[in-house]
Each structure stands twice: as structure tokens, then as C-alpha cells.
Amino acid sequence: MLASVRPHAWDLPLFVHVLGAMILFGGTLAVAAFGWASWHRPQRELLARATFRTLLAVVLPAWIVMRIGAQWTQSKEDISGTPGWIGAGMAVSDAGLVLLLVAVGLAYWAARLRGAGWQPRAVAVLSSLYLVALAVAWWVMSTKP
């Protein structure tokens, strides 16, 4: 029962990490929803702009907060080596940044094209994949197998 014996020095870093991760999940959810919605709605230009702005204003800042919190928490914990649950979290986090940056580029491209073309769908697919990866990461980080 780690939560009941966790030293208080870990609380603030863990709070920063979890809050960042939750906002990252919600922002990515919004991006995915805008991408899928643009498939069959006439307001493609509006949704393309909303997708790009949400990525810049919510998703990327949340990723930074989540990642700073992760590193800060790890620095407080005296864990030898890299257990599987930390490795899995790091992998989702760091590979996710690459995926998010590709999504930002595609979302910018989609906004320039006023939502026409294949780019909004590509952003929807990438963000949906990232949502699944985030769910796997929070499950693994919670259960610490």
C-alpha cells in the first residue's frame, strides 16, 4: 500500500505529475473528438483551427507539466535501476511527444488548408492512438506490476 506509507516529500511532485497527465488526457480527448467530428460536419475550418489551438494551448503544456512532475517524483524516490512500470511510463511519455509534435504539424497544415484534405483524419487517428497509450501508462503506473 504505497499510498498509505508514501513520504510527504513526494506529494507535490506526484500532484504535478498526475494533474499534468489528467489534463493531457482531456486535451488529447478534445483533439481526437474535433478530428473525428470534422469528418462528417461542414464546420471543418473551425474544427481544424480548434484542433491546432487545443494542441498548442492545452496538450503540449500539459505534457511538459506531466513530464516535469515525473522527473521530479523520480528524483525524490530512491529506486535502484528502472523498474518496468517506470520504463513503460517513460516510453509512452517520450514516444508520445514525437507523436504529438507530428500531430501539431499536421494540425497546422490542416488549419492552413481550412480543414480540407486528409490531415484532420490523420490527427484524429494519431490522437486516438495516444489516448490508448496514455490509458495503458496510467494503468501500469497505478498497478506497478
Partner 1 sequence: MDTYDWLLALHVSGAFLLVGGSVFAGVCNFLAQRTDRPSEIALFFGLVRVSLPLIGVGSLATLILGLWLVHHVDYSWGEFWIWGAILLWLVMGALGGMGGRVQTRARGLAERLAAEGDAPSAELTALARDRRANVSNYGAGLAALLILVLMIWKPGA
What does the binding site for partner 1 look like in residue numbers (CB under 8 A)? 1, 3-4, 8, 11, 14-15, 18-19, 21-23, 25-27, 29-30, 33-34, 37, 41, 43, 46-47, 50, 54, 58, 135, 138-139, 142-143, 145
HSE-CB for 75 with a 13 A CA cutoff: 9
The least CB distance from residue 82 to partner 1, in Å, is: 21
Distance of closest approach, residue 10 Cβ to partner 1, in angstroms:
9
Yes or no: say if 68 and 16 are a contact pair by the CB < 8 Å rule: yes
| CB-nearer residue toward partner 1: 43 or 82 | 43
DSSP letters along 96-130, please?
HHHHHHHHHHHHHHHHHTTT-SSHHHHHHHHHHHH
- Of the pair 62, 106, the CB lying nearest partner 1 is at 62
The residue (of 26 and 117) whose beta carbon lies closer to partner 1 is 26
Contact criterion met (CB below 8 Å) for 142 and 86? no
